[in-house]
Structure 1
Amino acid sequence: MIVTVDVGNTRIKAAVFEGDTILQRFVFDKTALEKNIKNILEKFGAIVCLVVSSVGDVEKNTFLAFEKKLKVHFVSHQDVFPFINNYETPKTLGIDRMVLAAGATLLYPNQNRLIIDAGTCVTYDFVDENNVYQGGAISPGMRLRYESMHNFTAKLPLLTLESPESYVGKSTTQAIHSGVVNGLVYEIDGFIDEYKAACKNIIIILTGGDADFLAKRLKNTIFANSNFLLESLNQTFQYKIKND
């Protein structure tokens, strides 16, 4: 039994796995990290390993404090991955993106894969059918789009996510919601259309905190799984154990 931990830019997500099955999922703030990890370990006494993927600013020592009780593994660029990395600057490729690419490679063999992670940023990662990671794209997520319009203008209000009432915003508030939500939907659909035109036999995986909200608004058929990074962490660690 292992617990996987995804330290993101805004929140921490964790999941306890028995083999490939999620027993329980957790979401909490960074300020409550140590307390929540302790509670998880007390509830699931059979956990033998803590697997961490971090793009946030949490100190490693917070996790290393649990080393006396179990093994702690931080996924890094030095790990074994099931794909060839064709990124021109491989050391700058985020660990979260590498984990997502690994999970897609292991779970969907012999296919082209486009993984879209809709969180603080929206990342697009493409692994071809020959298991070569080719690259992708990064753009602002919905929260960043709302905040940037407020922070870099004099009068636009700071709004929180809402479904647009119409494509035509008849007030400033409606126009912002339409621009943020519909703009991102058009962006994602546009990227998917480009990849579908360029290669056949492709699976589209949508994950991240905004995945469920976006999935029902896309015109393209996608596989939406908000737990995909946590599942990919489990798969990547199992792959490492078998191939080290």
Structure 2
Amino acid sequence: MLLAVDIGNTKIKAAVFEGAALVEKFVFDKEAGLEDIKKISEKFPKAVQSIMSSVGKEDDKLLLWLKEHTQLTDVSHNLTFPFQNNYATPATLGIDRMVLAAGATLQYPNKHRLVIDAGTCITYDFVDGSDTYLGGAISPGLQLRYNAMHTFTAKLPLLYAQMPQNYIGNSTKESMHSGAVNGLLHELNGFVNQYCEQYQDVTVILTGGDADFLAKRLKNTIFANSNFLLESLNLLYLYTNQK
């Protein structure tokens, strides 16, 4: 069994896999990371292999514990990935983006793939049909847009994601919901349309914390999978060990 750990900006996500099957998923605060990982290990004592990725500074105590109690694959830029990286600054490419690109490459072979991760930031990552990573885009995530409107103005309130009743907001709150949600939906549809115009038959995968909220409201055909990063870690582990 494999324990996959994704350390994000605000949360830690983990999952236990048996081969290709996801057995159970966990989400917890970063502050409680080590204790919660220990609990998962106690529940699944056969999970003696692990793989971990982090978008920022790794938790040294958690990293040390995984090294001592499991056979750890710590995902870094030095790992072998299943695509050619054509990013102009490969050392600055986020590990989470590389993991998602790897998962898309392995799960959807011989296709153009666009992975959209709707988390704290929205990241777009494109791998073409020849397994070449070309790059993408980064923009503020949904809640970040609400936070920015509140923080950098004098009177706008702090709101949380809610589908606006109409694209014409008839109050300050409804106007903010329309701007944040509809603005992001227009952005997502616009990016997908651009890729589809330039490349034939693009497979679009939407993941991240806001994936389910956004998926049903997008015009384009997509695969919505909030677990895609964890599944990509599992696929990358299997690929690395097969190598």
Global fold match (TM > 0.5): yes
Q: Distance in 1 between matches of 2:199 and 2:67?
A: 45
Which residues of 2 match residues 190-209 of structure 1 at below 5 A? 190-209=190-209
Indicate the residue corresponding to 1:168 in structure 2: 168
Indicate the residue corresponding to 2:64 in structure 1: 64
Q: Distance in 2 between matches of 1:132 and 1:188?
A: 22
8 A Cα contact 1:145 1:180, kept in partner: yes
Indicate the residue corresponding to 1:214 in structure 2: 214
8 A Cα contact 1:64 1:72, kept in partner: no
Q: Distance in 2 between matches of 1:42 and 1:50?
A: 14
8 A Cα contact 1:77 1:95, kept in partner: yes
Indicate the residue corresponding to 2:53 in structure 1: 53
Higher mean C-alpha displacement, 231-240 vs 49-58 = 49-58
> What value does the CA root-mean-square deviation take over the aligned residues?
0.9
Indicate the residue corresponding to 1:76 in structure 2: 76
Q: Distance in 2 between matches of 1:215 and 1:169?
A: 22
Deviation at 1:62, TM superposition (A): 2.0
- One-letter amino acid of the structure 2 residue matched with residue 40 of structure 1: I
Unaligned runs of 5+ in 2: none
- One-letter amino acid of the structure 1 residue matched with residue 139 of structure 2: S
Encode CA deviations 1:63-115: one digit per residue, 9 max, x unaligned: 21243321122100000000000000000000000000000001101100000
Which residues of 2 match residues 1-244 of structure 1 at below 5 A? 1-243=1-243
Q: Distance in 2 between matches of 1:68 and 1:155?
A: 51
Q: When the two structures are superposed, what TM-score results if normalisation uses the length of structure 2?
A: 0.98
Unaligned runs of 5+ in 1: none
Q: Distance in 2 between matches of 1:190 and 1:53?
A: 30
Tell me the SS of whatever aligns to 1:68. Answer: helix
Encode CA deviations 1:173-229: one digit per residue, 9 max, x unaligned: 000011000000000000000000001021000000000000000011100000000
Deviation at 1:241, TM superposition (A): 1.1
8 A Cα contact 2:34 2:61, kept in partner: no
8 A Cα contact 2:189 2:220, kept in partner: yes
8 A Cα contact 1:119 1:208, kept in partner: yes
8 A Cα contact 1:204 1:223, kept in partner: yes
Q: Distance in 1 between matches of 2:162 and 2:109?
A: 37
8 A Cα contact 2:122 2:141, kept in partner: yes
Identity %: 59
Tell me the SS of whatever aligns to 2:219. Answer: coil
8 A Cα contact 2:192 2:220, kept in partner: yes
8 A Cα contact 1:30 1:58, kept in partner: no
Deviation at 1:38, TM superposition (A): 0.5
Q: When the two structures are superposed, what TM-score results if normalisation uses the length of structure 1?
A: 0.97
Q: Distance in 1 between matches of 2:66 and 2:105?
A: 31
- One-letter amino acid of the structure 2 residue matched with residue 21 of structure 1: A
